[in-house]
């Protein structure tokens, strides 16, 4: 049963019935025009201003000739202009493509090339980076700079001023066809292979994830509004899809205090009466130190999420104490399943603190064996997902998609089990990713670089538990020359890695062994290495 819509244009029906992220900002701005949408360091941006800027930039991007579903690369730190640009893309039916700006320049160049990017919106601070990579990128024809000098040029192109685009105005809202399953965002993740993969998420996926996160975070639409203090990078799905977008979808306020500074964060929580926050464990530790030095009123916070890794019990207790009215729980997920995929319940906080918690209401989690069979509670296998906020697939990578969706489930690459309460217990990674300081590091990529360092005969790279980083990238190497001093070999490896890898991928430790433990087929026994070295 489908309706007969003859006599109507496709756009008329689409405008009235669609699931579109751009419309979410329209609605919040209509209800809360005068309210602060984003407090970006000193600057308060109202919903009306944010929406006006987004509409204006959307119109400018379309006028410049961008066509439906083309990507707009965003090289931007956290700012209100980031958010306005993201929503501009959503309103215009373009794909917002925030790029991880801490990646190595050659990775960023590779991403721009793989995605066929023609248009880049960048903070002026990334001008030197663009000068370096743009000459090798023929597809890029347009750069818009935020905060640039007048008549700036970058990489041989005349840059347009973001501020000019945002202020030019429109004759009315941008109303173009945006279908529910059009791609809303593409986030490249440095995954398990040597090259980043573009994870595509539809408007429906991001929208449903947003509503779900708002529900899980105890949000409401009305006078009693949500206030988020966010320091996590918005070029990652956690900052963007778990935190910032859900808050804006229900008319809340997003506070961006700038690069992580414990004192500034605590001041922002106190002065804005923040209701929910999310930090990495190492950030919580720093916040506790700053709070011990100068106590702020943190009583407004009702939810503290921590990410990426369980926290030591004594640290959890201290966070409990510092945020007297907050539930302190772990949120987990991955770029491919717009998070939070799983979120602890407050009642599991003490009994199952080392678990990931249960899935959110819009995600089903199962455990699958290598042959595609689902396993009962207690049995270990790959964690697989289903639900409306699962990614629609990887860009330009049919092989990865075939593996990801085999048997009708999204394959996470994580290994774990479910308990009788449906709680997810993560135990290991099927593929070889190290999660360090909130970033994913492919051990394969680091191994390739380390193996090429002078004095290294062979190597294996593993993540070892680390209070500061969650996991520390650790290179286990065998020397070509048995007489070389371990400290000297370590220095050589680090120096070489720094030349060829982004900073966060450079090994934190180098351990020299006489030989690597190996499987019968000659592969390093990483599980054994990790166990031995974690002791």
Residues 344-373 that bind its own copies (CB under 8 A): 345-347, 358-364
Q: Could you tell me if 330 and 303 are in contact, meaning their C-beta atoms sit under 8 angstroms apart? A: no
Among 152, 405, 444, 478, binds its own copies (CB under 8 A): 405
CB of 456 to its own copies, least distance (A): 37
Q: What is the largest CA-CA distance in the chain?
A: 84
Among 284, 323, 410, 469, binds its own copies (CB under 8 A): 410
Among 19, 56, 275, 355, binds its own copies (CB under 8 A): 19
> Of 71 and 262, which CB lies nearer to its own copies in the complex structure?
71
CB of 360 to its own copies, least distance (A): 7
Residue 2 makes contact with its own copies by CB under 8 A: yes
Which residues, 6 or more positions from 502, have their beta carbon under 8 angstroms from its beta carbon?
A: 102, 103, 104, 107
151/161 Cα distance (integer angstroms): 8
Question: How many residues sit close enough to its own copies to count as binding (CB under 8 A)?
Answer: 86
CB of 221 to its own copies, least distance (A): 5
40 forms beta bridges with 43, 256
Q: Parallel, antiparallel, or unpaired: how do β-strands 327-334 and 337-343 relate?
A: antiparallel
- Omega before 340 cis (within 30°)? yes
Among 120, 234, 243, 250, binds its own copies (CB under 8 A): 250
CB of 247 to its own copies, least distance (A): 12
> Of 185 and 442, which CB lies nearer to its own copies in the complex structure?
185
CB of 251 to its own copies, least distance (A): 7
Residue 251 makes contact with its own copies by CB under 8 A: yes
Angle between helices 486-500 and 443-451 (to 10 degrees): 120
Residue 24 makes contact with its own copies by CB under 8 A: yes
For residues 186-205, which are near its own copies according to CB under 8 A? Answer: 186, 198, 200, 204-205
Among 387, 413, 416, 470, binds its own copies (CB under 8 A): 387
Among 80, 356, 394, 425, binds its own copies (CB under 8 A): 394
484/499 Cα distance (integer angstroms): 22
Residue 26 makes contact with its own copies by CB under 8 A: yes
CB of 355 to its own copies, least distance (A): 14
For residues 110-169, which are near its own copies according to CB under 8 A? Answer: 115
For residues 53-112, which are near its own copies according to CB under 8 A? Answer: 69-71, 95
Q: Strand, coil or helix: what is 493?
A: helix
> Of 260 and 345, which CB lies nearer to its own copies in the complex structure?
345
Among 218, 312, 324, 378, binds its own copies (CB under 8 A): 218
Which residues, 6 or more positions from 164, have their beta carbon under 8 angstroms from its beta carbon?
A: none
For residues 414-443, which are near its own copies according to CB under 8 A? Answer: 422
Q: Residue with structure tokens 């916040």?
A: 287
For residues 220-239, which are near its own copies according to CB under 8 A? Answer: 220-223
Residue 18 makes contact with its own copies by CB under 8 A: yes
Round the CA-based radius of gyration of the chain to a whole number and report it. 24
Question: Residue 211: which H helix or E strand, with range?
Answer: helix 203-216
Number of CB atoms found within 10 A of residue 372's CB: 13
Token pair for 458: 């062979």
Which residues, 6 or more positions from 481, have their beta carbon under 8 angstroms from its beta carbon?
A: 455
Q: Could you tell me if 57 and 18 are in contact, meaning their C-beta atoms sit under 8 angstroms apart? A: no
């Amino acid at each position: 049963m489908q309706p007969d819509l003859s006599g109507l244009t496709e756009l008329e029906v689409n405008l009235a019935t669609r699931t579109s992220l751009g419309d979410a900002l329209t609605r919040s701005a209509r209800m809360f025009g005068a309210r602060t949408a984003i407090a970006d360091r000193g600057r308060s941006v109202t919903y009306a201003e944010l929406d006006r800027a987004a509409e204006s930039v959307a119109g400018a991007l379309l006028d410049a000739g961008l066509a439906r579903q083309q990507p707009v690369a965003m090289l931007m730190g956290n700012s209100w202009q980031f958010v306005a640009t993201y929503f501009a893309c959503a309103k215009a039916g373009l794909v917002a493509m925030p790029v991880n700006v801490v990646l190595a320049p050659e990775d960023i160049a590779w991403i721009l090339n793989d995605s066929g990017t023609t248009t880049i919106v960048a903070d002026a601070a990334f001008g030197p980076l663009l000068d370096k990579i743009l000459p090798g990128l023929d597809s890029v024809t347009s750069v818009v700079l935020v905060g640039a000098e007048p008549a700036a040029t970058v990489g041989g192109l005349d840059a347009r001023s973001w501020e000019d685009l945002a202020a030019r105005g429109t004759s009315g809202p941008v109303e173009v066809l945006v279908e529910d399953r059009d791609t809303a965002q593409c986030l490249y993740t440095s995954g398990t292979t040597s090259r980043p993969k573009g994870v595509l998420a539809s408007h429906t996926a991001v929208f449903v994830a947003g509503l779900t996160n708002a529900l899980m975070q105890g949000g409401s639409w009305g006078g009693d509004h949500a206030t988020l203090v966010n320091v996590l990078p918005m070029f990652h799905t956690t900052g963007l899809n778990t935190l910032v977008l859900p808050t804006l979808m229900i008319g809340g306020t997003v506070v961006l205090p700038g690069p992580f500074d414990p004192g500034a964060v605590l001041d922002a929580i106190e002065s804005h009466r923040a209701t929910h926050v999310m930090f990495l464990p190492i950030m919580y530790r720093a916040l506790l130190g700053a709070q011990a030095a100068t106590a702020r009123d943190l009583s407004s916070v009702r939810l503290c999420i921590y990410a990426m890794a369980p926290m030591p019990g004594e640290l959890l207790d201290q966070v409990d104490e510092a945020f007297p009215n907050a539930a302190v729980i772990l949120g987990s997920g991955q770029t491919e399943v717009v998070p939070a995929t799983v979120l602890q319940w407050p009642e599991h906080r003490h009994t199952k603190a080392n678990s990931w918690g249960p899935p959110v209401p819009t995600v089903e989690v199962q455990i699958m064996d290598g042959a595609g069979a689902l396993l009962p509670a207690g049995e270990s296998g790959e964690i697989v997902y289903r639900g409306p906020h699962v990614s629609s697939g990887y860009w330009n990578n049919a092989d990865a998609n075939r593996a990801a969706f085999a048997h009708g489930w999204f394959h996470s690459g994580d290994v774990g089990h479910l308990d009788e309460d449906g709680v997810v217990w993560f135990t290991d990674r099927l593929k070889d990713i190290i999660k360090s300081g909130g970033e994913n590091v492919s051990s394969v990529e680091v191994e390739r670089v380390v193996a090429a360092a002078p004095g290294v005969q062979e190597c294996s790279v593993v993540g070892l538990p680390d209070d500061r980083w969650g996991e520390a990238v650790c290179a286990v190497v065998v020397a070509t020359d048995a007489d070389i001093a371990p400290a000297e070999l370590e220095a050589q490896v680090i120096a070489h890695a720094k030349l060829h890898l982004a900073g966060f991928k450079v090994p934190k430790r180098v351990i020299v062994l006489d030989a690597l433990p190996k499987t019968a087929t000659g592969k390093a026994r990483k599980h054994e290495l990790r166990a031995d070295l974690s002791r």
